[in-house]
A = this chain, B = another copy of it.
Amino acid sequence: MANLKRIYMFSDDVESLEKQLAAEGRQLKWLLGGKGANLAIMTSIGLPVPPGFTVTTDTCVEFMKLGNKFPEGLEEEILEAMKKLEEETGKKFGDPDNPLLVSVRSGARESMPGMMDTVLNLGMNDEVAEGMVKLTGDARFVYDAYRRLIMMFGDVVMGVERSVFEECFNKVKQKEGVSEDTEVSVEGLKETVELEKQAYKEHVGKEFPSAPREQLMEAVRAVFESWNNDRAIAYRELNKIPHDWGTAVNVQTMVFGNMGDDSGTGVAFTRDPATGEKRIFGDYLPNAQGEDVVAGIRTPMDIAELERIAPEVYKQFVEICHKLEQHYHDMQDMEFTVERGKLWMLQTRNGKRTAAAAVKIAVDMHDEGLVDKAGAVKLVPPEQLDQLLHPQFDASQKPAPVATGVAASPGAAAGQVVFTAAKAVQWAQEGKRVVLVRHETSPEDIRGMAAAQGILTQFGGKTSHAAVVGRQMGKPCVVGCSAIEIDYEALKFEVNGNVVKEGDYISIDGTTGEVMLGDVALADSEIIAVQKGTLDPSEAPLYEYYARIMQWADEIRKLGVRTNADTPEDSALALALGAEGIGLTRTEHMFFGEERIRTFQKMILSESTEEREAAAAELLPFQRNDFYGILKAMDGKPVIIRLLDPPLHEFLPKTPEEQAIVGEMVGKSQQEIADIVDGLHELNPMLGHRGCRLGVTFPEIYKMQVRAIFQAACQLKKEGFNPIPEVMIPLVALVEELQICKDYTLEVAAEVMEAEGVQIEYMIGTMIELPRACVVADQIGAIADFFSFGTNDLTQTVFGFSRDDVEGKFIPAYITKRILPVSPFESIDVAGVGALLRMGVEKGRAANPKLEIGICGEHGGEPHSVRFCHDVGLDYVSCSPLRVPIARLAAAQAQIDNPR
């Protein structure tokens, strides 16, 4: 950080500064903020930018560290910069004869539109106003600018309600009997200024500062402080922007779009941000200040009109757009002002756009030679792809929502309301589309959830059971919709005065959280329809762009992408979406089928190894069939099958009725079953008798599963397929656990292959999901073929956070209080969980250089986490099918930024 100044003029040598920063691993906009950096760059490439300077973000950080005080010397440095500005403009701050007016605007490292504050027209006072009237001959303009200054300064710097000042203006308007701002007389504007000054004094307790220097310093202070206003904090939380970046402050010569009809102001994009079409897109408002466009007080005209009313200016603007895209290699979002026929660029930044626009622009820019493949790949935010993949409502048919809950799993679903998983399964089998509506869901509901189009719950947050499973299944899911009141007995729910009964249609939008009455039509997204083969690519204009981007991403990335899938259908979809194998097949869901759950319960309730083996043998054909389907779907690609993970009590009946049925089956009373269930109850099931602990204590279950895997694989091999099963032992803390399970897996595998006369290529590995496993990863790695980091459970144990208990409860409070930047269950906690993961990778590889390492927690589909996985050198990530393209793209971007 040596030799950095607190203030840079836009006209300073920005290239040198950029190089100096790059040497420290920083970017220009980290120091100058996005806006400041771009103003400086625009200046450097010769665009017409009103002169100005930037106080750096580092200075804001200093300011905050001092408890919101100016660092020593800053004021002098600002005055110094003002002097340079006066030289550049030939005007003088506070000089009535040749006054310099400036704006003060925030500008953070990442754009936070409208979240922070701006003050315009600084440098104005009674004398300057009079002088300006002399200079411009436009008293209306001058006093309008003056009244705006007092209002903005009172509002932004002093925290007086804006309405207080608006009231002053309204009074004058009333008095003059006019309604439009522009109809107010010059005298009226002057009176407004006086009224505003009085109001200012009344609310602030002192006079409006007429000294330009005081105005300026206070405005800078206000912008620094605005970094921590509530809106800004909320925005950063939503957008995962660190709270400690701080904002830069840009002080810039005012230019005025409201100096007559040859003036105006506009906002424009170099391309259409909704569709990506290559045309200048935006609004222009003649005779107006920029804030009028943003405020929406007057309706702007389409920017195309500018060509008509000021063809020269438009031509210059088109050239500037071209120049900017040439410089930034990205679509730009610009603000500009025309002052008496002269075009001034006030801002440019990379424009936000829809996913559809993002892929089209990326591909077009590639084809135009603006970016290479890597550049195009970088132009699409991975997270945004989600929009292109989930089913969507047909916008033309979507009614107003009756309620809104938490958008937990994106996509659209419509169907008939059912209140039980059993009914969901039954109706689905009858060919009905159903939406499962529950207070909340539990593992027993899984088959019902799978059968439903979507899930709506009254309680629970983004990581409730319904939400997690919903995302995993790719099922649209709205949770925590407290406006609905379910009456299970009456088989109905009420929502804002509407009664919805079982069988009635509702529609839910998991992307927005909206709940609508009726059967709103929906469709596969274009991309999915093409991938499924139900839509011809020629009818999906978007598809080509998407496909080309994804192909380039695949060419670039080094990190593999697999999927988490439990059924042949999911596997097939994931494959179509580019999955290179399965990173996690959970086997527990497979036990919940009606025929199976009873047998499985019988096995759990067995009192001897023999009984357990007999029950396991009954389950074998079902499991074999499960694995057959998945291995076949993934023909020739690796399939990691995780052996049973959850504690056994999850499979036992909780209600007396169910207990009675199960009791009868195994020759026990309901009470005896209840006692067994009680006995198996765990205080902390997350840390209980599950995972490989079951494999060690009840090897019959795992042995059955291994047998089923290898029987299925052998059968496929005989049928000419190439199954590649990889057996994964969960929850290993001690190498001895893996050794025991590995030993009998090898034994059973050999036995099956011998009996079938077939050789199968396979691996045996383990999930690394406990801190101890990371610490002794050298021991474990020495006997494992692969590691798969289970970052869900690892996050739980590293933090001591029970996801079910804390995510809805105090994690939101932690984020608000800035204890956590984001939920560690959403994006991997690099400092804690990440450090242990890294240790696991290093120790594992040191002990076994051939160790294959991946991740199968939900983080595997989250772009920041994918980047971390790339950086740390994993072989692959694994995520739910619909996130596979996201992971592919994120992996490519990681490789571009940090080649390995």
Q: Which of A684, A734, A802, A804 has the most CB of B within 10 A?
A: A684
Q: List 20 A-B contacts (CB under 8 A).
A: A682-B804, A684-B805, A685-B805, A686-B802, A688-B805, A697-B813, A731-B800, A734-B814, A734-B819, A734-B820, A736-B819, A737-B819, A770-B800, A771-B797, A772-B799, A775-B831, A775-B832, A775-B835, A779-B831, A797-B797
Residues of chain B with a CB closer than 8 A to A832's CB? 733, 771-772, 775-776
Query: Is the CB–CB distance between B687 and A802 below 8 Å?
Result: yes
Q: Which A-B residue pairs are the 10 nearest by beta carbons?
A: A687-B802, A684-B802, A772-B832, A771-B771, A736-B819, A688-B805, A682-B805, A770-B800, A684-B686, A684-B684
Q: Which of A734-749 contact B (CB under 8 A)?
A: 734, 736-737, 740
Mark contacts of A701-744 with chain B using CB atoms, 8 A cut-off: 1 yes-contact digit, 0 otherwise: 00000000000000000000000000000010110110010000
Determine which of B683, B697, B731 lies in contact with A686 in the assembled complex, contact meaning CB atoms within 8 Å: B683
Chain B nearest CB from A461 CB (Å) reads 14
Mark contacts of A798-822 with chain B using CB atoms, 8 A cut-off: 1 yes-contact digit, 0 otherwise: 1111101110011001100111100
Mark contacts of A517-532 with chain B using CB atoms, 8 A cut-off: 1 yes-contact digit, 0 otherwise: 0000000000000000
Mark contacts of A839-877 with chain B using CB atoms, 8 A cut-off: 1 yes-contact digit, 0 otherwise: 000000000000000000000000000000000000000
What separation, in Å, do the CA atoms of A743 and B251 have in the docked complex?
37
Chain B nearest CB from A237 CB (Å) reads 14
What separation, in Å, do the CA atoms of A732 and B686 have in the docked complex?
20
A693 in the interface (beta carbon within 8 A): yes
Residues A736 and B818 in contact in the complex (CB < 8 Å), given A771-B836, A772-B833: yes
Chain B nearest CB from A799 CB (Å) reads 5
A796 in the interface (beta carbon within 8 A): yes
A689 in the interface (beta carbon within 8 A): yes
Chain B nearest CB from A816 CB (Å) reads 11
A133 in the interface (beta carbon within 8 A): no
Query: Is the CB–CB distance between A775 and B689 below 8 Å?
Result: no
Chain B nearest CB from A844 CB (Å) reads 15
- In the complex formed, the residue of B with least CB distance to A813 is B697
Q: Which residues of A does B touch, CB under 8 Å?
A: 682-689, 693, 696-697, 731, 733-734, 736-737, 740, 769-772, 775-776, 779, 793, 796-802, 804-806, 809-810, 813-814, 817-820, 829, 831-833, 835-836
- In the complex formed, the residue of B with least CB distance to A831 is B776
Chain B nearest CB from A798 CB (Å) reads 5
What separation, in Å, do the CA atoms of A770 and B832 have in the docked complex?
10
Query: Is the CB–CB distance between A771 and B798 below 8 Å?
Result: yes
Chain B nearest CB from A806 CB (Å) reads 6
What separation, in Å, do the CA atoms of A740 and B819 have in the docked complex?
9
Residues of chain B with a CB closer than 8 A to A814's CB? 696, 734
What separation, in Å, do the CA atoms of A72 and B484 have in the docked complex?
79
What separation, in Å, do the CA atoms of A820 and B736 have in the docked complex?
8
What separation, in Å, do the CA atoms of A800 and B771 have in the docked complex?
8
Beyond the given pairs A684-B684, A733-B832, 16 more chain A to chain B contacts, judged by CB atoms under 8 angstroms and listed by A's residue number, are A682-B804, A682-B805, A686-B802, A687-B797, A689-B805, A696-B813, A696-B814, A697-B810, A733-B798, A733-B799, A734-B814, A736-B819, A775-B836, A776-B832, A776-B835, A797-B798
What separation, in Å, do the CA atoms of A70 and B779 have in the docked complex?
28
What separation, in Å, do the CA atoms of A278 and B683 have in the docked complex?
54
Residues of chain B with a CB closer than 8 A to A829's CB? 772
Chain B nearest CB from A838 CB (Å) reads 10
Tell me what chain A mostly uses at the interface: helix, strand, loop, or mixed.
helix
Residues of chain B with a CB closer than 8 A to A800's CB? 686-687, 731, 733, 769-772, 793, 797
What separation, in Å, do the CA atoms of A810 and B776 have in the docked complex?
21
What separation, in Å, do the CA atoms of A831 and B689 have in the docked complex?
22
Counting every copy of the chain, the complex holds 2
What separation, in Å, do the CA atoms of A806 and B772 have in the docked complex?
16
What separation, in Å, do the CA atoms of A831 and B688 have in the docked complex?
21
Residues A806 and B689 in contact in the complex (CB < 8 Å), given A770-B800, A798-B772, A818-B736: yes
Query: Is the CB–CB distance between A775 and B793 below 8 Å?
Result: no
Determine which of B696, B769, B779, B802 lies in contact with A819 in the assembled complex, contact meaning CB atoms within 8 Å: B696
Residues of chain B with a CB closer than 8 A to A771's CB? 771, 797-798, 800, 832, 836
Residues A817 and B696 in contact in the complex (CB < 8 Å), given A686-B684, A801-B687: yes
Residues of chain B with a CB closer than 8 A to A819's CB? 696, 734, 736-737, 740
Query: Is the CB–CB distance between B736 and A810 below 8 Å?
Result: no
What separation, in Å, do the CA atoms of A760 and B836 have in the docked complex?
40
Chain B nearest CB from A814 CB (Å) reads 7
Determine which of B734, B737, B806, B833 lies in contact with A687 in the assembled complex, contact meaning CB atoms within 8 Å: B806
Residues of chain B with a CB closer than 8 A to A740's CB? 817, 819
Residues of chain B with a CB closer than 8 A to A697's CB? 810, 813
Residues of chain B with a CB closer than 8 A to A775's CB? 798, 831-832, 835-836
What separation, in Å, do the CA atoms of A776 and B799 have in the docked complex?
11
- In the complex formed, the residue of B with least CB distance to A683 is B804
Chain B nearest CB from A868 CB (Å) reads 15
Chain B nearest CB from A731 CB (Å) reads 7
What separation, in Å, do the CA atoms of A54 and B86 have in the docked complex?
99
